[in-house]
Amino acid sequence: MPSPPLTSRSPNPRLCPWSAARSPRQTWFSFRRRMRSLGEIIPDSKPRRAVTFEWEGFSDGGVKVGNVFSPPVSKKQLVLKGGDDQVLKALTGKSLNVHITWPGYTPVTKRVSIVADGKPISREALLLNLCRALKDGMEGLKRAEQSEPGYLEYTLDARKSVTFRDVFISELVHCGGSDWRLQCWIPKPSSSNFHARQQAYPSPSL
């Protein structure tokens, strides 16, 4: 499956989506079509509501991973909206297959636990598990070679790209069964987080 391009459409003009800017329903249908084209048997089901992540009182359209691992020292404490909610309590499994993509690279899948001590975890605990999975996924991609041409500006290495701490996680979108996909945002290339040689993002192809 081609890697999704980045696009400049976002709630915050400083950010742009990492995964394709599709609605949860579009993501669900797209994933099922791809899996069936590979010969996978996909049972009939309905997409579950996406799990969203945002700080109380902020409108960035997601939470910065770096702030989850190392909260900033400020007068205003970062509080996750609905952080105590057991957002996946209706699920029967103990973990999810979370798909992580980066333009030009083969997508990676991480198993993410959704229970602790036999009970469903909260939105806040889920976010922490997703951040850890994202960190592992991005570190693995940095050791891999790009699988598709045309995405040179998105090459992941320690000198030129953002790190996992720069990524904003906005949603966890259901793809069917136990498969879910992270919807993430990253700083635009014009920001100081990116190497100066990087140019504007290509137009989206949705």
Q: Are 51 and 6 in contact (CB under 8 A)?
A: no
Is the model's pLDDT at 3 over the cut of 90?
A: no
Split at pLDDT 50, 70, 90, the class of 175 is confident
Task: Write out pLDDT tens, residues 110-162.
Answer: 999 999 999 999 999 999 999 999 999 988 888 887 777 777 767 777 666 67
Whole-number percent of the chain with pLDDT over 70: 62
Contact residues for 100 (Cβ-Cβ < 8 A; gap 6+): 107, 108, 109, 110, 133, 134, 137, 138, 182
Answer whether residue 144 is part of any domain: yes
* H or E element that contains 37: helix 24-37
| Among the listed residues 60, 61, 54, the one whose alpha carbon sits nearest the alpha carbon of residue 80 | 54
Residue 163: which pLDDT band, with cuts at 50, 70 and 90?
A: confident
156 contact partners, CB below 8 Å, separation of at least 6: 102, 105, 138, 141, 142
Examine residue 3 and state whether it is found in any structural domain, yes or no.
no
User: In this structure, is the dihedral angle defined by the CA atoms of residues 118, 119, 125 and 127, taken in order, positive or negative?
Assistant: positive
Size (the chain), residues:
206
Q: Average the pLDDT over each of 148-152, 170-174, 185-189 and give the range with the smallest value.
A: 185-189
Whole-angstrom distance, CA of residue 154 vs CA of residue 12: 20
Residue 173 has pLDDT above 80, yes or no: yes
Does residue 19 sit within a domain?
Answer: yes
Per-residue pLDDT reduced to its tens digit, 68-102: 998 776 656 789 999 999 999 999 899 999 988 88
| Reported pTM | 0.73
Residue 166 has pLDDT above 80, yes or no: yes
177 located within any domain = yes
Q: Which of 166, 153, 163, 167 is nearest to 196 (CA)?
A: 153
Report the SS3 class of residue 64.
strand
User: Which residue range is the domain that position 19 belongs to?
Assistant: 15-187
Q: What percent of the chain has pLDDT over 90?
A: 29
Reported confidence tier of residue 15, pLDDT bands at 50, 70, 90 = very low
At position 170, the amino acid (one-letter code) is S
Domain-located, residue 43? yes
Q: Which residues contact 35 (CB under 8 A, 6 or more apart)?
A: 42, 176
133 located within any domain: yes
User: What pLDDT is attached to residue 102?
Assistant: 81
- Calculate the average pLDDT of the chain: 72
Query: What total number of domains does the chain contain?
Result: 1
Long-range CB pairs of 34-37 (<8 Å, 24+ gap) are 34/1, 35/176
Let me know if residue 45 belongs to a domain.
yes
pLDDT of residue 101: 82
| Residue 170 falls inside a structural domain | yes
pLDDT at 147: 72
More confident position, 60 or 8: 60
